[in-house]
Homo-oligomer: A and B are copies of this chain.
Amino acid sequence: LVGRKDMFIGFLKNAWKLGVDDPRKVMHGLKVGLALALVSLFYYTRPLYDGVGGAAMWAIMTVVVVFEYTVGGCLYKGFNRATATSTAGAIALGVHWVAHKSGKQFEPVILSGSVFLLASAATFSRFVPTIKTKFDYGITIFILTYSLVAVSGYRVDALLQMAQQRVSTISIGIFICLCVCIMIRPVWAGQELHLLITRNMDKLAASLEGCIEEYLEEDSGTEKEKKSQKSQGYKAVLNSKASEESQANLARWEPRHGRFGFRHPWSEYLKVGVAMRYTAYCLEALNGCINSDIQAANSVKKCLSDECKKLGTQCAMVLKELSNSIKEMAQSSRLELLVCDMNLAVQDLQDALRSLPSQLQKEALQAAQVQKTSISSATITSVKNENIVTMPLMEVLPVITMASLLIEISVRIEGIVDAVESLAD
């Protein structure tokens, strides 16, 4: 019992935190409550009111099922429900009429048979990707409405009257839903997508810088932990594929709002998302190398430290500029310059890599020179040769890998730049 109580308290705390973190979620709950209360009051005060079996039921059902978190979701479901109900109703009336004309004997066969055929075909069509993304909910409603009307024992003229009533009730339900959803603090799927992309871009920039700093600098405990947390931001990019796609799908249904037009190029946002994930994969590998068992000597790290940091900073600057450019929905004048700087930083890093062996050798020779006084000149040459021959590649390996991945990341960032540019067009 105590365990149950603890679990319940934990659940409440969890829910409270959720609400405090994002008050819009609480607001959504209240909006659904309001829409339902409105629709119930509407039907409560009507003289035509006739209980659960009647019209009120369909309005309530519509509100419960159509009301979604985002305006796009609401419109998508409302549109699907309205069109699917009317199409299925019309087809069902036709089939009903034919079945009625063919006599008592064939009526159940024709009706059940048509239900079987249409439901099978409609269910199968849900596996087609384009149908799935745009009309999944509509198909459910289509099957439901068709089955209900086809199987009903009413005559066609009674059905017509009922259909009229049903359509008006569903319209009222959808209308109340949309009013509450759009009027009171609307959450637009398009804007959410826009924010998600820019937020992820900022996280990517921060975690790229964080990763490199974490690797190249030796910090004390708390400082390091803070940076480590910052450098994990790319994981959000890796995991946001599903939400990006669903938001882009819903955003298509939304009318003009804020700075977004009706036919805003939402699919371009998806391409930016793909390019960002592509970069994040590489960053994940970089992070893996950083936390690997094989660690480079600090002296080796120092040789490339400046160039790596510079490239990391330049990459992050490009990402931040891209994020700003998306935020302000304007082409950035600085972007081209920043990309040039990034490419220069790549060049510098490549040059540093080219001169790395000779630099390491110099250091080795200096170390040998220090020992010169104590050993004979014959030994020196052998030490010298040994140093030359066995350049400590294993010690250099992690740094070289990191530099190489950084260069690859900069190439992929150019892919993001292209995607953002085609979004701007």
Contacts and interface: CB of A to CB of B under 8 A. Distances in A.
A156 interface: no
A323 to B, nearest CB: 23
A357 to B, nearest CB: 4
Contacts of A113: 37
Contact of A52 (B125, B128, B162, B397): B162
A239 interface: yes
B115 A37 contact: yes
A382 to B, nearest CB: 15
B124 A394 contact: no
A178 interface: no
Interface stretch (A141-149, A191-199, A210-218, A248-256): A141-149
A272 to B, nearest CB: 18
A291 to B, nearest CB: 10
Interface stretch (A24-32, A309-317, A329-337): A24-32
A175 interface: no
Contacts of A54: 53
Nearest to A287: B281
Interface in A198-216: none
Contacts of A28: 123-124
A119 B408 contact: no
Given A115-B36, A281-B284, A124 B25 contact: yes
Interface in A94-140: 108, 111-113, 115-125, 127-128, 130, 140
B108 A41 contact: yes
B60 A147 contact: yes
A32 B123 contact: yes
A292 interface: yes
B391 A357 contact: yes
A135 to B, nearest CB: 12
Contacts of A19: 124
Contacts of A293: 411
B53 A405 contact: no
A378 interface: no
A36 B150 CA distance: 11
B358 A390 contact: yes
Contacts of A400: 393, 397, 400-401, 404
A375 interface: no
Report the interface size class on chain A. Answer: 35 or more
A261 interface: no
Nearest to A401: B404
A285 interface: yes
Contact of A33 (B32, B115, B286, B412): B115
A388 interface: yes
B116 A289 contact: no
B390 A147 contact: no
Given A115-B33, A149-B52, A358-B390, A60 B288 contact: no
- The CB with the most chain B CB atoms within 10 A, among A54, A120, A122, is that of A120
B357 A51 contact: no
Contacts of A118: 33
A242 interface: yes
A295 interface: no
Interface of A: 11, 14-15, 18-19, 25-26, 28-30, 32-34, 36-37, 40-41, 43-44, 49-54, 56-57, 60-61, 64-65, 108, 111-113, 115-125, 127-128, 130, 140, 143-144, 147-154, 162, 238-239, 241-242, 278, 281-282, 284-286, 288-289, 292-294, 350, 353-354, 356-358, 361, 388-391, 393-394, 397-398, 400-401, 404-405, 407-408, 411-412
Given A52-B149, A65-B144, A356-B393, 20 more contacts: A15-B124, A29-B121, A32-B119, A32-B120, A36-B116, A36-B119, A37-B116, A40-B151, A41-B108, A43-B151, A52-B148, A56-B151, A60-B144, A60-B147, A60-B151, A61-B148, A64-B119, A239-B241, A281-B288, A353-B394
